[in-house]
Chain A
C-alpha cells in the first residue's frame, strides 16, 4: 500500500464525525493555551494524558495534534499583539509583528502569520506523508547499536541546541536520565534508587515531572517576579488587511520558511528556534525592503511563522518513524503512545496504520480548521488575555494537581510535584533549559535497554557500538553536534 492510498484511508478515519469533533476540541484548546501565558502545548497534552483512560488512541492523538498546531497559531497571536512570545518559536515573529501592530498593521501581520502557518503546515504535512513511511521502512534494519547511537545524537543535540550553555544543557539532560533509572530494572527485576518507597518502584512518571517543571516551576517563578501592570494589547481595529503588495511580499517567505522549518524540525537536533531564526536572517538578507526590518517588515513575520509551523510537523517525523522525541512536546506525545502500550517506530506504521494515518490526515483537517478559527476570531482570542493573572496562575496549579494526583492518587507524586517544582524555579532563575530533562527521562530507559542489548550481542565488547557504518556515523555526528553552538554564535553575531 503506498502513501497515497494510506492517506486516503487516514482521511476516512479523520473525517468521522467523532474524530472531527476531537480535532476541533484540540484546535480550540490549542489556540487558547497558545494565547494564554504560562502554559504551552507540552503541558496541555501532559494534563490531558489522564483522559486517555477513556478515550480511544486514535481520537486522543487527533486531539493532541490539534493542540500541537493550535498552540502555534495562538502563540503568533500574542507575539504580534502583545510582544510576548508564548513559546520560543514565536520569538522572531514578535520582533517584526509587534512593530507592525504598533503601526496599525496588526490585522495584516496576523493574516500573514495565519495564512503562512496554513501554507507551511499543509506543505510540511504533505512532506511528512511521503517521507515518514520511507524512513520507517529504513528503520526496520536498525539494530540496537544503531538505535543507541541515534539516541546519543538526540541527547547531545537537545542539550547543545536548547538553552544558552552546554554544561547547563547537559546537567538538565543527566538529571532527566537520573530520574529515568528510578524504579524496577526490567531485565533483572532489581529495584533501583527506590529508597525503600514502594511508590517509587514503578518509576517516576513523566507527567509528574513535566507538570511540575513547567506549571509549578513557572507559577513560583512568575509569582516571585510578578509584574502586575496589565498587558498593553495593540489595537486591532482600523488597520488595513493584507494588501496586494503584502501578498506579493509574503508568499516567497512562506515557502522559504517551510523549506527551512521542515527538514530542521525533522533532524534529531530538532526544535523550532533554529529554523525561525535562520528564516528571519535569510528574509532580511533577501528583502527589497531592508530598511523596514526592525520597524515592521511583513517578510519578517511571514518567514519565521511558516518555519515555526513546518518545524512542528517536522518534529513528528523522527517521533513517528523512530520513536525519537526532539522537543518537550514530542516527549509527551511519546509518553502518550506508551500509555496506550504503543511504541512509535517502524512497526507502528504496520500494526497501527489506522492510528498513524488518521493522525496525519487530521493534521490537514486541523490546519484548515485553525485557519477558519483564527482569521475571523482573533478578537475573541485576545479576550482570553483579560483573565486576571492571579486566577489564571492559581487555576493552572489546580489543573496541575489534577494531572499529578490523577496519575495514581499517590502522596509520593505530590511530594515530587513540590520538590521538582522548586527545581523548576531554580532552573528558571539560573537559566537551565527544561526540555532536556524530559528527553532524558523518557529516552534514558530506552537508550539503556538498547545499550545493554547491543552489548549482549557483542558479548561485552564496547566496539560493537560502532560496528555498523550507521552507528559509527551517528556517533561521529553526535560528537560533531557538540561544536555546533560555536557556528550558531557566529551566525547570531552576523545577524
Chain B
C-alpha cells in the first residue's frame, strides 16, 4: 500500500456518538404508549441510539489503537492519491445547487447548472459546450420521465410553466 500518514479521525467517532445521543434523547421524550408488549414507540429508537453510542466509543478505542482507514478503490479514481479539495468543492456544489434552484428554476435548468459544475470538477473547461449538453440532457430527462408518469415539477416555475 502507500505511505499515507496514519490518520486518526476522532471526529468520525464523535459524530457517531452525537447521532446516537440525539436518537437516544428523542426516543426518551416520546410518550410511552407501551400496550401489551411493554414496548412503546420510543424503545426501539432508544435502543438504536444507545448502540450507536457504544459503537462510536468502540470506534474511538480502535482509532486510539491506530486502526487503519484505507480509502476504498473506485474506478477512475486513485485511492492513494492526495485528494483535490477544489474538485471536491465543485462536485459538492453540483450536488447542492438543486437546493437553491430546483423550486425556482425547475428541473432542466437545475440539471444544466449541476452538469456544468460536475464536469468542471472533472477537469472539463468548455463551459458553454458543457452547459449545452447539460441543458439538452435535462430537457430530455424532464420530458421523458414526465411522459413516463414521474412528476418532476414545472419546466420553469419562475415563468409559471
Contact = CB atoms under 8 A, between A and B. Distances in A.
Contacts of A405: 98, 102, 107, 152-153
Contacts of A426: 12
Interface in B46-83: 48-49, 51-52, 55-56, 58-59, 62, 67, 69-72, 74-79, 81, 83
Most B C-beta atoms less than 10 A away, residue of A178, A226, A425? A226
Contacts of A51: 145, 148-150
Interface in B97-134: 98-99, 102-103, 107, 110-111, 114-116, 118-119, 121-124, 130, 133-134
A397 B90 CA distance: 13
Interface string A443-454: 010001001111
Most B C-beta atoms less than 10 A away, residue of A54, A177, A402, A405? A405
A351 B110 CA distance: 43
A397 B118 contact: yes
Contacts, number: 246
Given A409-B152, A415-B99, A456-B35, A165 B67 contact: yes
A190 B33 contact: yes
Given A394-B122, A399-B141, A181 B44 contact: yes
Interface stretch (A258-266, A373-381, A416-424): A416-424
A239 interface: no
Contact of A459 (B36, B48, B79, B149): B36
A175 interface: yes
B123 A228 contact: yes
A460 B36 contact: yes
A221 B67 CA distance: 22
A167 B150 contact: no
A171 B52 contact: yes
B74 A218 contact: yes
Interface in B29-51: 30-31, 33, 35-42, 44-45, 48-49, 51
Chain A interface helix/strand/loop/mixed: helix
A455 B44 CA distance: 12
A456 B36 contact: yes
Contacts of A454: 37
Nearest to B125: A390
A294 interface: no
A37 B75 contact: yes
A222 B118 CA distance: 11
Nearest to A172: B55
A171 B77 contact: no
A406 B83 contact: no
B19 A225 contact: no
Given A216-B95, A225-B78, A418-B96, A395 B71 contact: no
B126 to A, nearest CB: 10
Interface string A46-76: 0000110110000000000000000000000
A227 B78 CA distance: 6
A187 B98 contact: no
Interface stretch (A1-9, A121-129, A428-436, A482-490): A428-436
Contact count band on A: 35 or more
Interface of A: 37-38, 50-51, 53-54, 84, 86, 165, 167-168, 170-171, 174-175, 177-178, 181, 185, 187-188, 190, 192-193, 216, 218-228, 231, 388-391, 393-395, 397-399, 401-402, 405-406, 409, 411, 414-415, 417-418, 421-422, 425-426, 428-431, 444, 448, 451-460
Contact of A226 (B33, B56, B77): B77
Nearest to B145: A402
A188 B95 contact: no
Given A193-B23, A397-B95, A224 B69 contact: no
B19 A222 contact: no
B37 A459 contact: yes
A141 B59 CA distance: 40
B84 interface: yes
Contacts of B30: 190, 192
Nearest to B112: A398
11 contacts: A51-B148, A86-B75, A171-B59, A221-B77, A222-B75, A224-B83, A225-B71, A225-B79, A228-B123, A455-B36, A459-B38
B34 to A, nearest CB: 8
B156 interface: no
Given A222-B74, A428-B72, A402 B152 contact: yes
B71 to A, nearest CB: 5
A167 B58 contact: yes
Nearest to A462: B38
